[in-house]
Amino acid sequence: MAKLILSLEGSVIREIPLDKERITIGRRPQNDIQIENLAVSGEHACVVTILNDSFLEDLGSTNGTLVNGNPIKKHILQNNDVVEIGKYKMKYVVEAAAAGQSAQDDFERTMVMKSIPGKPAAPRAAAAPTSPPTGAPRPAAAAVAPPTFTPRPAAAPTSPPTGAPRPAAATPLTSPPRPAAPAAAAQKPAVAEAQPLATLQLLTGPNAGKEIDLVKNLTTLGKPGVQVAVITRRPQGYFITHVEGALFPVLNGKAIDAQARQLNDHDVIELAGVKMEFFLKR
Site for another protein in 162-201 (CB under 8 A): 162-164, 166-167, 169-176, 178-179, 182, 185-189, 191-192
Q: What residues from 64 to 103 belong to the interface with another protein (CB under 8 A)?
A: 76, 78, 94
Which of these segments, 65-73, 218-226, 247-255, 266-274, binds another protein (CB under 8 A)? 218-226
Residue 253, interface with another protein (CB under 8 A)?
A: no
Q: Which of 80, 115, 134, 207 binds another protein (CB under 8 A)?
A: 115
- Smallest distance from another protein to CB 128, Å: 8
Q: Is the separation of the CB atoms in 151 and 111 below 8 Å?
A: yes
Q: What is the DSSP string of 66-94?
A: EETTEEESEEE--TT-EEEETTEEEEEEE
- Spatial neighbors of 222 by CB under 8 A, at least 6 apart, are 228, 229, 243, 245, 271, 272
Q: Rounded to an integer, what distance in angstroms lies between the CA atom of residue 36 and that of residue 44?
A: 12
Nearest CA to 84 among 8, 1, 2? 8
Q: Is the separation of the CB atoms in 83 and 4 below 8 Å?
A: yes
Q: Quick one: 143 or 230, whose CB is closer to another protein?
A: 230
Residue 216, interface with another protein (CB under 8 A)?
A: yes
Q: What residues from 37 to 56 belong to the interface with another protein (CB under 8 A)?
A: 50-53, 55
- Smallest distance from another protein to CB 7, Å: 24
Q: Quick one: 9 or 108, whose CB is closer to another protein?
A: 108
- Smallest distance from another protein to CB 111, Å: 6
Q: Which of 62, 68, 80, 158 binds another protein (CB under 8 A)?
A: 158
Q: Which of 62, 224, 266, 281 binds another protein (CB under 8 A)?
A: 224
Q: Quick one: 13 or 111, whose CB is closer to another protein?
A: 111
- Spatial neighbors of 139 by CB under 8 A, at least 6 apart, are 1
Residue 108 has phi, psi (to 5 degrees) of -75, -10
Q: Rounded to an integer, what distance in angstroms lies between the CA atom of residue 258 and that of residue 229?
A: 10
Q: Which of 8, 12, 98, 112 binds another protein (CB under 8 A)?
A: 112
Q: Rounded to an integer, what distance in angstroms lies between the CA atom of residue 62 and that of residue 39?
A: 8
Q: Rounded to an integer, what distance in angstroms lies between the CA atom of residue 227 and that of residue 232?
A: 17
Which of these segments, 63-71, 206-214, 227-235, 269-277, binds another protein (CB under 8 A)? 227-235
